[in-house]
Structure 1
């Protein structure tokens, strides 16, 4: 396909596995995408006619494997996709500098909200801000050493030097922790997704995953805004579901208010993680890989608030 198309992807799957139970010679067997792609596919599925929904879900179930990467997959999206297609998305973690390093198992327990464990011959460790290695359940920057690790950045010796620890471990710039089963959890980019609020280090990705459970929220982005008292405050930018927008327009109110969101969040988030600022937008700026461009988002926020 020349570019991603919600309708086109579902159609390709239906053509691969027709309703008569046959299989096309060029049938799609493996699919991989970023979280935004799966969100868009689910939105497209929800507006299909019932008979097309049945055919689409049945066709999707026939694929051998579906994977997700590039950024954290919200747990509600994981569960909804599994309910529709029967596929529990295989989440894994990699970078251009070393290809794949961590992965949930092809056969075995794929834990939502994690990127699995180190692949064979891949070594990892977690380094705190003070440069010391932290315990398995600590929080810090993920560092990787692997046979597939790159040698250097082209003609950038200083950047190369700054990117490696003694012993050949590459500093990924991603903040992680490890759960009780040894599965790695990506908390976000250290310079973009980790907020410092009143002495607490918070993961924007963790808060985003919770907010996506709200019935009115289609997409969201959480980031820290400068604050004199707390250093940063938690700000949420939300794209409401279309039905929530229509209902709000009829009732002459916002699709979701800050007070409503805060009350809803009390049973799901610690008090210091609850957003104190809320913006409702129609879309979120994204890069070519489908990730929310938080740098651009902050710039747009500054424009709208000045």
Structure 2
């Protein structure tokens, strides 16, 4: 029996076929039948060009309905979908194409000038364009193909997608996600968040990332729900569409901007749940959003390598500052040295296991072996702790750990205290080179808080070795497209702070 994840979606796409799946910002709708047929035509075209199961298809496109159909076409044909951030520059693109070795490249016309010479140099002869308005050479070439397409059988461990890590600690690593990995996560989330055909998801996320492409879209495709499918997040547009939605997924920045735009309960009369991920949600944002709307944001925890691991409950206590309990089929543990399980409340390394966990790093068997334990758990690189009843709190990334004078400092602990101070919007704590201590603790603060006042406030709250040696005021913190603070950029910016 085939494990192709498209077969999991097919029953909901096939019936009722005329029911809308997508509503675009202009009001145009795409039915399930239209999506199914367009993906079939694309699958037939790609196979007709000689693409074989397992071939990589690199995609750098702006968000649009035919782009979603292209993703489904790759699944149907057994091809490996390789999405690229639309912000990548030529130097970055060269690495991805050389490493992934795709048979075909599809891009929006905007990005063709950067990709075309790379494809020519690397001998990638199959190349088409696809734009957000569904124009481009791919649409033209595939338009006359048959809509019927027999899904290619896939085993659970055969690849469906290849995504790359952010590369903040070196060259990005290719993350191999199989049909079985993605189906396991989709089933767990579909059940945990109770998606149904009555739902309408407000989708304003990018689709080159796990959050928008897999988490959001897979929940819709599994359940018979609909999507309001918008190209990007804009607070005013979100407020205009929210009355028609029952679910919204976003990064924390979405919610802070909605608060700034004046969101209230009147904007979300049908919404049953707001979900946040991809970056930590501040407790203040959680509280302010509840006060404004009456909704307690549901925070969850996942990563590219694992899809989703934990979630606060749909029905039950949603604890601010935590990412909830392990999803069905996922094991989560916090360990110390030699993978020794730690007691609740102790900070250690977060490890996970389950069918959702990726197959390994693309052509990096040594790195894959290094990041998995002998008993099959994946080392996430995150530091955290578990409550007695299994709620997970993320304390920080292992790579963000600061070692000053031989002592470990976890940035999250300090950030939480700084964020509570008057005139602080948010903060990021980093370690920078220090001639005496090895690393010095530095706090980069958004807001008008006086550094001297912050220093005085932290003195009674933190051991001296944890106290920042410098407070730096900035207008905003650098973030990637998913809202994550880029601490590597901050460390680079301030690396000479204590050097003579």
Change (3 A) 1:263 1:95: same
Once residues 465 and 413 of structure 2 are traced to their aligned partners in structure 1, the CA distance between those partners, rounded to angstroms, is: 13
Structure 1 residues 226, 79: closer, same or farther in 2, change over 3 A? same
Kept after mapping to 2: 8 A contact 1:72/1:205 = no
Is 1:224 paired with 2:431? yes
Distance 2:253 2:498 in 1: 27
Q: Is the 8 A contact 2:312 2:323 kept in 1?
A: yes
Would you say 1:117 and 2:317 are equivalent positions? no
Show the counterpart of 2:302.
Answer: 94
Give 1:25-44 correspondences, 5 Å limit.
27-44=244-261
Aligned to 1:244: none
Matches within 5 A, 1:282-301: 282-301=475-494
1:108 paired to 2:325: no
1:238 to 2:445 alignment: yes
Q: Does 1:188 find its partner at 2:396?
A: yes
SS in 2 for 1:239: strand
Residue-by-residue CA offset, 1:148-203 (whole Å, 9 max, x unaligned): 222222222122111111121111111111124431111111012x2234454332
Rounded Cα–Cα distance in structure 1 between residues aligned with 2:354 and 2:397: 21
1:22-171 to 2 correspondences below 5 Å:
27-45=244-262, 56-60=264-268, 62-171=270-379
- Partner of 1:172: helix, strand, or coil? strand
The structure that has the greater radius of gyration is: 2
Is contact 1:258–1:276 with CA below 8 Å preserved after alignment? Answer: no
Aligned to 1:278: 471
- Whether contact under 8 Å (2:432, 2:495) holds in the other structure is no
RMSD: 2.2
Post-superposition shift, 1:232?
2.8
Instruction: Name the structure 1 match of 2:237.
Output: 8
> Shift of residue 271 of structure 1?
4.6
Preserved contact between residue 395 and residue 413 of structure 2 (Cα < 8 Å): yes
SS in 2 for 1:191: helix
Quick one: which of 210, 225, 246 aligns to 2:417?
Answer: 210
The separation in 2 between residues aligned to 1:181 and 1:148, in whole angstroms, is: 23
C-alpha distance in structure 1 between counterparts of 2:437 and 2:492, whole Å: 21
Q: Decide whether the 8 Å contact of 2:334 with 2:386 is kept in 1.
A: no
Deviations 1:255-281 (A, max 9, x none): 322211122335654554433211111
Preserved CA contact (<8 Å) 1:197 1:231: yes
Range with bigger deviation, 76-85 or 273-282: 273-282
User: Is the 1:36–1:291 contact (alpha carbons within 8 Å) kept by the matching residues of 2?
Assistant: no
Q: TM-score, normalised by structure 1?
A: 0.80
Q: Is the 8 A contact 1:94 1:100 kept in 2?
A: yes
Alpha-carbon spacing, 1:182–1:67, altered in 2? closer, same or farther (3 Å): same
Q: Is the 8 A contact 1:143 1:171 kept in 2?
A: yes
State how far apart, in whole Å, the 1-side matches of 2:421 and 2:453 are: 11
Maintained 8 Å contact 2:430/2:490: no
Query: TM-score w.r.t. structure 2 length?
Result: 0.51
Aligned residues: 270
- Structure 1: which 5+ runs fail to align? 17-26, 46-52, 241-254
CA distance in 2, matches of 1:84, 1:266: 34
* Aligned equivalent of 1:50: none
> 1:223 Cα deviation (Å)?
1.1
The counterpart of 1:259, out of the listed 441, 445, 452, is: 452
Change (3 A) 1:267 1:186: same
Partners of 2:297 and 2:460 in 1: how far apart? 28
Gap change, CA 1:67 and 1:153, over 3 Å in 2: same
SS at match of 1:167: coil
What residue is the counterpart of 2:55 in the other structure? Answer: none
Structure 2 residue aligned with 1:243: none
Q: Secondary structure at the match of 2:360?
A: coil
